[in-house]
Amino acid sequence: MAECGVHYPSVFVVDSHKAFPPPLPPRLGRMRPRAGVAQTLLFLLVSLALCGMAIEACFIYRLYNPEPADSASSAKIISDKGARPVPTRRPNPVILPSKPVAHLTGGSVHHGPEIMSWSTDADPLLYKMEYKQGKIVIQKEGYYYVYSKVFFVEGSAFTHSMNQETPRYLGKDIPLLQSRRYSRKPAKEAHSNSYLGGVFHLFKDDSIFVKVKNTSQIVRSQACENVFGAYMI
């Protein structure tokens, strides 16, 4: 263009970004599926945690509040005439031994000058065995471990033995085990224990018993300090 005779150069404006279209804004529709998946996973995890807590609460409730047994569902005996209910029985809290056994305590001397007797006031353990006049009577033939322990005051010579009496040898005691103790200490100054134990074959109606020589040395302050017993092996 010429104005007043002055010539101006032509001016061209070049936009370098015109060759490329402007970037489009991100579409919000594409982000929604990702957000929806995350929310679903979070919901599932929370649901599983709540279910686990509910199940654990049920277990704890049943543990501390057991359901009472239904009396109508008691045990029944099946017979040819049909089923009939029977009263529920309490289980026996005492487990019976599988073999003969005897255990006596509270030894004292009543049967003769040497044979010790044992207390029967506290329901002694006697299973398939008998106790008569200080003696354990065998009811079944077999091998038995027999034992005895006495608590005594040291003084002069002390003898502790376990003997057998059998119908095969009438009027004769058979010594099974024996211990001797000699002490120079004056009487009532020291106490000691004597224990005997061993395995023997015994027949039916055989008897075993405990003998001591000096009965005045036996201490009877507690029942558990003097014991006598046997059990089949």
For residues 45-68, give the mean pLDDT. 81
Q: Please report the pLDDT score of residue 20 as a whole number.
A: 55
Task: Determine the pLDDT at residue 34.
Answer: 61
- pTM given for the model: 0.58
Cα four-point dihedral sign 106, 119, 171, 148: negative
Helices (H), the chain: 32-64
pLDDT above 90 covers a percentage of the chain that reads 34
pLDDT higher than 90, residue 99: yes
Q: Which of 122, 119, 125 is nearest to 95 (CA)?
A: 125
Give the single-character DSSP code of 167: T
Q: Could you give all domains of the chain from N- to C-terminal order, each with its CATH number?
A: 101-232 (2.60.120.40)
Average pLDDT over the chain, rounded to an integer: 78
Give percent of the chain with pLDDT exceeding 70: 68
